[in-house]
Structure 1
Amino acid sequence: MGKQKVVIRLSMVDAKKRSKALKIVVGLDGVTSASVDGNEKDQIVVVGDGIDSFALVRKLRKRMKYAELVSVAPEDEKKEEAKPKDIELIGWPRPNIYYDVRTINDDPWCCIM
Structure 2
Amino acid sequence: MKQKIVIKVQISCKKCRIKAMKLVASAEGVDSVAVEGENKDQLVIVGDGVDPACLTHTLRKKVGHADIIKVEEVKIAKQEEKKPNAGPPKPVVHWYPNYPPCPQLVYYDDYYACRSSNSDNCSIM
> More strand per residue: 1 or 2?
1
> For 1:1-113, what aligned pairs fall within 5 Å after superposition?
2-78=1-77
Describe the shift of the 1:79–1:58 C-alpha distance in structure 2 as closer, same or farther (beyond 3 A): farther
Matched positions, count: 79
Q: Please list every run of 5 or more consecutive structure 1 residues that lacks an aligned counterpart in the other structure.
A: 81-113
Describe the shift of the 1:78–1:11 C-alpha distance in structure 2 as closer, same or farther (beyond 3 A): same
Q: Please list every run of 5 or more consecutive structure 2 residues that lacks an aligned counterpart in the other structure.
A: 80-125
After TM superposition, the score normalised by the length of structure 2 is 0.60
**1:78, distance to aligned residue in structure 2 (A):** 2.0
**1:26, distance to aligned residue in structure 2 (A):** 0.3
Decide which structure has the larger Cα Rg and report it. Answer: 2
State the Cα RMSD in Å: 1.5
Q: In 1, Cα distance between the equivalents of 2:50 and 2:56?
A: 11
Question: Which runs of 4 or more aligned residues in structure 1 lie more than 2 Å from their structure 2 counterparts after TM superposition?
Answer: none
Describe the shift of the 1:15–1:77 C-alpha distance in structure 2 as closer, same or farther (beyond 3 A): same
Describe the shift of the 1:79–1:71 C-alpha distance in structure 2 as closer, same or farther (beyond 3 A): farther
Identity of aligned residues (%): 41
After TM superposition, the score normalised by the length of structure 1 is 0.67
